[in-house]
Amino acid sequence: MDLPLEIPEELRAAGIPVDPESDNDEIAWQHEDALRVLDSLRGTKVAVLEVFVYVPQPDGDTLLSANTGWACEPALGETASDFAVRSHEGAIAYMESLAKSGTDEAFYSMLFSEQDDAA
């Protein structure tokens, strides 16, 4: 999974591999860093298509899927810019609701649209 170029290197480095032993390069962030990732995409046409939730295992080195998540699709006739804004707001609301419910140790991986594909 390629991360959008708009995400700063410091935030890329703050993420941890979901499965360090696989060729999959999926990255997950703790709550505050995930919010900072979304903030770095403000004003772009990069939308959040899905949010995947992971919980740390007792060994501290691995993450396990929480089997929950959130998804967003563009509405008919919605511009890429409007979809990006709506998807960011929805992803933030989802993560905030999990944090309020006591899931503040969760890690979040996100699937993004591509800026170049946005119309």
Q: Please state the domain extents for the chain.
A: 9-114
- Longest Cα–Cα distance of the chain, Å, equals 47
Pairing type for strands 16-17 and 63-71 reads unpaired
- As a whole number of angstroms, the distance between CA 53 and CA 44 comes to 24
pTM confidence score: 0.88
- Token reading at 119: 């119309």
pLDDT per residue over 38-72, tens digit each?
Answer: 999 999 999 999 999 999 888 767 888 999 999 99
The H or E element that residue 38 is part of is helix 31-40
- Taking the CA of residue 15 as centre, how many other CA atoms within 13 Å lie in the half-sphere pointing to its CB? 23
Question: What are the tens digits of pLDDT across the range 77-102?
Answer: 999 999 999 999 999 999 999 888 87
What CATH topology corresponds to 9-114? Ribulose 1,5 Bisphosphate Carboxylase/Oxygenase (3.30.190)
The DSSP result for 69-115, as a single string, is EEE--PPTT--HHHHHHHHHHHHHHHHHHHHHTT-TT-EEEEEE--G
**What is the 8-class DSSP label of residue 25?**
-
